[in-house]
Amino acid sequence: MRNILITGGAGFIGSNLTAELQTRYPEARIVVVDDFRSGDFKNFRGFRGDVVAADVSRLDWNAQFGDRVFDVIFHEASITDTTVHDQFLQTHDNVEGFRRVLAFAAPHQTPVVYASSAATYGVCSGIQHEDQPPAPANVYAFSKVQLDNLAREHATKNPSWRIVGLRYFNVYGPREVHKKAAASMIYQLYLQMKAGRRPRVFRSGEQRRDFVYVKDVVALTIRAATAPHSGVFNCGSGVAVSFNEVIAELNRCLGTSLEPEYMDNPYAHFYQPHTQADMSRAAAELDFRPGWTPATGIADYVATLEGAASVR
């Protein structure tokens, strides 16, 4: 990878991806396109590449980059706040942004790795498999289904072109602080407990989530760039843990013994009670297996947060 384009590189996953690619490929020319709606310039600390401040759904890609050819495009740009219910805004910006990326990549069939979402599975229980029919329960998930549809259409017409989607599950880790209320529940609970408050979760705290550490997400995202063919892959830890278990782990890491405070769920009509990624396709086709368990990931993340706090 000598020439790399990353959309959404100022965001949570995008900035972790950008930093890791710069480490792995120090001689590569890396370009980030981001409109900073859900990103932060602070996430670019140490970045040596180029930043184009633009909305991917409105950018004139050919005018911006001319005949420049990239080796790979990582498409992470998206409205990521699932509580944004403006249907036009979510659908237009997420879908049209991807459509423009594909149009720009098409002439040279530049490999594209894009961010899909486990939200496409909808409100269901058990383990989620890539072949399950989509059942989006909110417009964010609906927009991600459209990305998968677009990718499949282009890949079917162009079998030699690699377009790979990753259905990210519940990602947590460094560089998400700027997301504030939209940051991971692990980070939200950490903040509450660090302040000495009882952690608040929906009643009765037994909802289970596949929390995947961002370091594994980045590793699989980079691996997907060399996938043997187009397709969609789950990106999770493969393990579902309850919020009560997360709180117990945070208590261990922080040396506290705070009991959960339970509250009613105002989002019950589209809230996923259980997420768990079937990671067998990623193992078989990409030779990828998560390296971080929920316990080791949370411990590493807390150590990072505590280290950042001591520096401040």
Residue in the structure block whose two tokens are 């490999």: 111
Task: Encode pLDDT of 101-153 as tens digits.
Answer: 999 999 999 999 999 999 999 988 789 999 999 999 889 999 999 999 999 99
Superfamily of domain 3-170+214-236: NAD(P)-binding Rossmann-like Domain (3.40.50.720)
* pLDDT of 1: 86
Mean of pLDDT values over 154-181: 96
In sequence order, the 6+-apart residues with CB closer than 8 A to the CB of 145 are: 120, 134, 136
Q: Single out the catalytic residue among 144, 179, 187, 190.
A: 179
Q: Respond yes or no: is residue 140 known to be catalytic.
A: yes
Q: In the chain, which segments carry CATH 3.90.25.10? A: 172-208+240-276+295-311
By 3-state DSSP, what share of the chain in percent is helix, strand and coil, each rounded to 5? 40, 20, 40
199, 262 contact by CB (below 8 A) = no
Residue 309: pLDDT over 60: no
Q: Please report which confidence band the pLDDT of residue 311 belongs to, taking 50, 70 and 90 as the band edges.
A: very low
Determine whether domain 172-208+240-276+295-311 maps to CATH 3.90.25.10.
yes
pLDDT digits (tens, 9 = 90+) for 293-303: 999 999 999 99
- Looking at the chain, which residues constitute the CATH 3.40.50.720 domain(s)? 3-170+214-236
Question: Which of 121, 140, 190, 213 is labelled catalytic?
Answer: 140
Active-site residue, 180 included: no
pTM listed for this prediction? 0.94
